[in-house]
Amino acid sequence: MDAGTSQELQGKTALVTGAARRIGAAIARRLHSAGANVVLHYRGAEAEAGRLEAELNAARAASALKVKADLLAPIAPRALLGAALERFGRLDLLINNASTFYPTAVGSIEPGHWEELIGSNLRAALFLAQEAAPQLAKNCGAIVNIADIHAERPLKGYLVYSVAKAGLVALTRALALELAPEVRVNAIAPGAIAWPEDGQFAPRERERIIAATPLARIGSPEEIARAVHFLATAPFVTGQVLAVDGGRSLHL
């Protein structure tokens, strides 16, 4: 499936959270190139969101809208859905990509860590899905959640993050039951895709991860975007978690 030639999402609208950079930006570009209008959620990356919005609107006029929101705020789901409907009049796809990732070793976990990591990785996805569900049902739409291979096999030192992503996988399956048959709900479980920019993984740890990956490399954001595009347009797939990890989960 080549998004450069396919326009199967023409006339549809996608909301992508955490869309300004990295995986989120790749997803937004992929869905946009397949014909979708895109709502680009961001929290702090104002400049990157603005550049992406300008890029997509230059490719197709009035087809992208950036919206700032703190997903931990109770008003965020309604504000994001409202912006999508005001600009484009419909919502067909919800991509829950926004995430917070940092270590929380036992003995150093604070309530604020729990609130932030569970809030950004799990709670936000639930309340966005709940807010969007009536519109998605009206259009036989889909939700794609970005989980993690460590939802199934926890990452040592990242206890709260692993719990949050495990919850997101459970949420994916539960929503698939709750929202069927009108709305399909699936998840992607990435492996190592783009190294954290804050240097969380030292060079030796990066080498170890690549050595444990059968395809012997990390993935690219575009490869996650291709998988999201597939799940967004696969009419008989729901409740599934697709690992896009170069085979690394085989060794976890």
**pTM for the full model?**
0.94
pLDDT band at 251 (very low <50, low <70, confident <90, very high): confident
Each residue of 29-83: pLDDT tens digit? 999 999 999 999 999 999 999 999 999 999 999 999 999 999 999 999 999 999 9
Mean pLDDT of the chain: 95
Q: Does residue 97 fall inside a structural domain?
A: yes
105 to 64, 206, 215: CA distances (angstroms): 40, 20, 30
Cα 129 from Cα 249, distance rounded (Å): 28
Instruction: Summarize the confidence of residues 111-140 as an average pLDDT.
Output: 99
Q: Does residue 8 fall inside a structural domain?
A: no
Residues of the domain holding 60: 13-246
169 to 98, 121, 126: CA distances (angstroms): 15, 11, 11
Residue 2: predicted pLDDT: 52
pLDDT at 149 over 70: yes
Q: Cα–Cα–Cα angle for 154, 167, 148, nearest 5°?
A: 50
Whole-number percent of the chain with pLDDT over 90: 90
Q: Does residue 216 fall inside a structural domain?
A: yes
Each residue of 86-125: pLDDT tens digit? 999 999 999 999 999 999 999 999 999 999 999 999 999 9
Q: Does residue 101 fall inside a structural domain?
A: yes
* Secondary structure letter of residue 246 according to DSSP: T
The edge-to-edge listing of strands for the beta sheet with 142-146 is: 64-68, 37-42, 13-16, 93-96, 142-146, 184-190, 241-244
Q: Does residue 82 fall inside a structural domain?
A: yes
Residue 5: predicted pLDDT: 43
Catalytic residue (choose from 42, 102, 158, 161): 161
Q: Based on the structure, what is the number of domains in the chain? A: 1
Active site residue 161: yes
Q: Are 220 and 125 in contact (CB under 8 A)?
A: no
Q: Does residue 252 fall inside a structural domain?
A: no
pLDDT at 239 over 90: yes
Q: Does residue 5 fall inside a structural domain?
A: no
pLDDT at 252 over 90: no
Q: Does residue 4 fall inside a structural domain?
A: no
Each residue of 225-237: pLDDT tens digit? 999 999 999 999 9
| CATH code of residue 160 | 3.40.50.720
The pairing of beta strand 184-190 with beta strand 241-244: parallel
> 18 versus 192: which is more confidently predicted?
18
Instruction: Summarize the confidence of residues 130-141 as an average pLDDT.
Output: 99
Instruction: Summarize the confidence of residues 168-182 as an average pLDDT.
Output: 99
Residue 1: predicted pLDDT: 46
